[in-house]
Structure formats: C-alpha cells, structure tokens
C-alpha cells in the first residue's frame, strides 16, 4: 500500500528537491541516462525520476540506498542545528562579485577602481591585505566585518 503524503513541511520538500537536483546533475555530468542508472541501482526508472523530482513518495530505504551507492554524503540536522548551520553559512557567505559601494573600507583600499565596480573575493582579499596598515576595523559595518572575517577564514590572515 503506497504511503500517504500529508503535512510535510516546506523545508523538507525543498530539501528533497535539492537532493533530486543533485542526483540529476550527477547523472548528467557523467553522461548516464535514467534507464542505465536505474538498472545499475536495481530500481525502476520511474522511481529514479521521482527521486530526481524530489517526490516524497519514494521510500527512505530506496532513497538512502541510491545515495549510498552513488557515495553522496547526507547530513541530518534538527531544526535548531539547521538554524545554526544557516546562520554560519550566511555569515561565511562569499559572493562571486563584491560591490565596492557596499563595503566602504574596501572601497578606500581600492582607490584605483571605480566606486561602482565589483571585485572577486580573491581581489578583495588582496586589496585588504595590501592596505592592512590603513584598515580601521571600527569603521567597518557588520556586513563588512563578516566579509573581512570570511576572507580571512578562506584565504588566511590579512
């Protein structure tokens, strides 16, 4: 008898979809069709399609078997752990393009660039590093302090 799906929190549906997208990306990256992958995993192609679409009707046993066979690493967190993890991720987030206008101290370190320019994280690190004697941490906003700390965590002390 198929399981009934009801009252599943949106965050779990989002996570299932994310896992499904990862599975699909993995399969396509390796140039494998759903049929071939399903056969190698000894599951039905329709079940694989459901997994890729984040369908919550796929049994946990089947889903975990697929993730294990493909050597995916999963981490389960309580809501409190997830919130703490998300805060850490938000705090340590490095954007691909850092707009100088949003970071006044970085902007002063990059006098040779236009105020509306953006720089890569590597360039931001280099700019801070090259002007470290002139940096006044008390002038940094919380956002800029987070960027500065994250750059140090990724690239080493400035």
Domains of the chain: total: 2
Gyration radius from the chain CA atoms: 22
pLDDT tens-place string over residues 139-155: 899 999 989 998 988 88
- Structural domain includes residue 5: no
16 and 65: one domain?
Answer: yes
105 and 147: one domain?
Answer: yes
How far apart are the C-alpha atoms of 32 and 13, rounded to whole Å?
Answer: 25
* pTM tops 0.75: no
Q: Which of 20, 54, 69 is the last residue of a domain?
A: 69
56 and 105: one domain?
Answer: no
- Structural domain includes residue 85: no
Domain that holds residue 59: 10-69
104 and 150: one domain?
Answer: yes
- Structural domain includes residue 54: yes
- Structural domain includes residue 129: yes
How far apart are the C-alpha atoms of 17 and 20, rounded to whole Å?
Answer: 5
| pLDDT, greater one: 27 or 61 | 61
CATH code of 50's domain:
1.10.260.40
* Band (127; pLDDT cuts 50, 70, 90): very high
17 and 65: one domain?
Answer: yes
- Structural domain includes residue 88: no
141 and 104: one domain?
Answer: yes
At residue 1, the pLDDT reads: 44
Q: Which of 69, 87, 117 is the last residue of a domain?
A: 69
- Three-state secondary structure of the chain: CCCCCCCCCHHHHHHHHHHHHHHHHHHHHCCCCHHHHHHHHCCCHHHHHHHHCCCCCCCHHHHHHHHHHCCCCCCCCCHHHHHHHHHHHHHCCCCCCEEHHHCHHHHHHCCCCCCCCEECHHHHHHHHHHCHHHCCHHHCCHHHHHHHHHHHHHHCCC
Please determine, for residue 36, whether its predicted confidence score (pLDDT) is greater than 80. yes
pLDDT tens-place string over residues 80-106: 887 877 777 666 678 878 999 999 999
- Structural domain includes residue 149: yes
- Structural domain includes residue 4: no
């Amino acid at each position: 008898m198929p399981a009934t799906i009801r009252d599943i929190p949106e965050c779990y549906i989002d996570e299932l979809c994310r896992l499904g997208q990862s599975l699909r990306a993995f399969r396509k990256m390796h140039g494998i069709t759903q049929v071939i992958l399903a056969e190698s995993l000894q599951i039905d192609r329709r079940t694989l399609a459901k997994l890729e679409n984040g369908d919550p009707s796929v049994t946990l046993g089947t889903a975990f078997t697929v993730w294990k066979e493909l050597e995916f690493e999963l981490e389960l967190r309580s809501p409190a752990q997830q919130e703490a993890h998300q805060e850490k991720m938000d705090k340590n987030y490095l954007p691909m393009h850092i707009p100088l206008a949003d970071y006044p101290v970085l902007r002063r370190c990059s006098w040779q660039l236009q105020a509306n320019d953006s720089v890569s994280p590597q360039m931001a690190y280099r700019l801070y590093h090259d002007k470290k004697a002139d940096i006044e941490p008390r002038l940094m906003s919380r956002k800029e302090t987070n960027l500065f700390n994250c750059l140090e965590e990724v690239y080493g002390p400035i």
